[in-house]
Structure 1
Amino acid sequence: MEETISLKELIETIKKRMQLILLITLTAIIVSGGVSFFLLTPVYQSSTQLLVNQSKSDQPAYNIGEIQTNLQLINTYNVIMKSPAILEKVISELDLDMTAGQLNEKLTVGSEKDSQVINLSVEDTDPKQAAAIANKTADVFQGEIGKIMNVDNVSVLAKAEVGKDQSPIKPKPLLNIAIATVVGLMAGVGLAFLLEFLDNTIKTEQEVEKILGLPVLGSITRIQDQAEQAKSRSQRKSRVRGETVGS
């Protein structure tokens, strides 16, 4: 026989386990906030743009064939920009304490579809160093690409700058806390239903009638043990003695 659960039972289960749900949610919020504000190091991002376009040419300003060639070269340029030949020179000129592989992990190079603009972004815990690396990488690439591919079609479109009171791109404490709240609620509700499912004890007459399908003819109240009875008698005597003294 398939057992069905009504919406009322679901709500009652949530109400019964509300303290557990709130405790798990609050714990998730506190842990997320503590990690975001005190443990994670802020990371800043700085970006520069390069334009792939023939700087000196006798061709018309809008030469379709030349534009298509530049677009085809952009993927190659993206790879070269993150190559050791470029990054090692950037490290040497900025005197950075890192390897080319470590610097490569900080760089993100890409371009929009059918666009001649290359976007170079650098992430670092120091916003000034992020801007310096972005600008130096663009300058080194612009100077070295002519030697590597014998072309002169790259120019710096926009330099990276350090903004006033620049905000880190990560971590985002408020977003992390919001996610932790949702996850905490889901975990709390899930655990509440799991505990309810695993709890096979019978606590009320209504549960007896529901499970056995038989009416309850009588019930036995809880009988206090000797210690509880002695404590109750002592409390009653104290109250009577106090009332006598007061009168």
Structure 2
Amino acid sequence: MEQTINIEQIFGILRKYHRLILSSTVVCTLLAVIVTFFLITPQYSASTELLVNRKQNTDVGAQLNQVQADVQMITTYKDLITKPVIMDTVAEKINKGNDEKINEGQIANMIDIANNQNSQVFSINVKADNAYTAADIANTTAQTFQKKAPKIMSGTDNVSIISQASPNLNPVSPKKNLYVLIGVVLGLLLGVGIAFLRELTDKTVKDEGFLTEELGLTSLGIVNNIAEKDLIKKAIMSVSTSRLSRRG
């Protein structure tokens, strides 16, 4: 049997289960706050920029060719930076004097190389759980690559560092306000979903029309629900009336 719900019934269900919906929203919001503020480790970002630009030839055509060659070399440089030939040296410098060691694989996973199309500038972006570590890794990687690139690329010395990374004490993740908002929305949706599920699976008879119209039964009468306090009052009144009648 198909069951339909109109707008009035929807608002009625929401009013009926408003405590359930509110409780679900509060619980999910609290869980989001706990996870966001206490369980997720904040991540900090730092970046440094490098320019790929060799000494220009006086010939205009040769200059254009050199620029295009430099732009194309960035693709190779992006792959090369996170390879062990660079990361081994970076890890050695980063770990020097530190109790907590970071291996070259972990450092490589922290690094993201980005550049705009047809641009001779690319950036080394680093994410770490410490702002100073992120900046240190970014700068060390850039300096190491600038030093080793000419040897690896057979004397091609065309890499310059144009900006140094500095510690940014504002974490880039998690986005706390967004996570809490997601918790509120999920809690609200969960509460509404449970409310409608309970209502739709409730097989109790709610009105006389269901028996007569849906099931085709004959109504013999309605027994109203009497509150317990009303029953007590009626019992007391009945006893009092009985005593008065006896005295009379």
In the alignment, residue 57 of structure 1 is paired with which amino acid? Q
Which ranges of 4 or more aligned residues in structure 1 deviate by more than 6 Å? none
1:15-164 to 2 correspondences below 5 Å:
15-54=15-54, 56-59=55-58, 63-95=63-95, 97-150=101-154, 151-163=156-168
Relative distance call for 1:14 and 1:207 in structure 2 (3 A) is farther
Find out whether 1:204 has 2:207 as its counterpart: yes
Distance 2:59 2:9 in 1: 77
Q: Give structure 1 stretches of 5+ with no counterpart.
A: 241-247
Q: CA deviation at 1:57?
A: 3.3
Q: CA deviation at 1:221?
A: 3.3
In the alignment, residue 202 of structure 1 is paired with which amino acid? V
1:147-186 to 2 correspondences below 5 Å:
147-150=151-154, 151-163=156-168, 166-186=169-189
Distance 2:42 2:195 in 1: 36
Distance 2:176 2:131 in 1: 19
Q: Deviations over 1:85-119 (max 9, x none)?
A: 10110011222612111111111111112221111
- Give aligned-pair identity as a percent: 35
Q: CA deviation at 1:186?
A: 1.4
Distance 2:60 2:173 in 1: 42
TM score, norm. by length of structure 1: 0.83
How many pairs does the alignment contain? 230
Q: CA deviation at 1:191?
A: 1.6
Bigger mean CA offset, 207-216 vs 184-193: 207-216
RMSD between superposed Cα atoms in Å: 2.7
Distance 2:195 2:166 in 1: 51
Give the secondary-structure state (helix, strand or coil) at the position aligned to 2:179: helix
Counterpart residue number, 2:244: none
Q: Give structure 2 stretches of 5+ with no counterpart.
A: 241-248
TM score, norm. by length of structure 2: 0.83
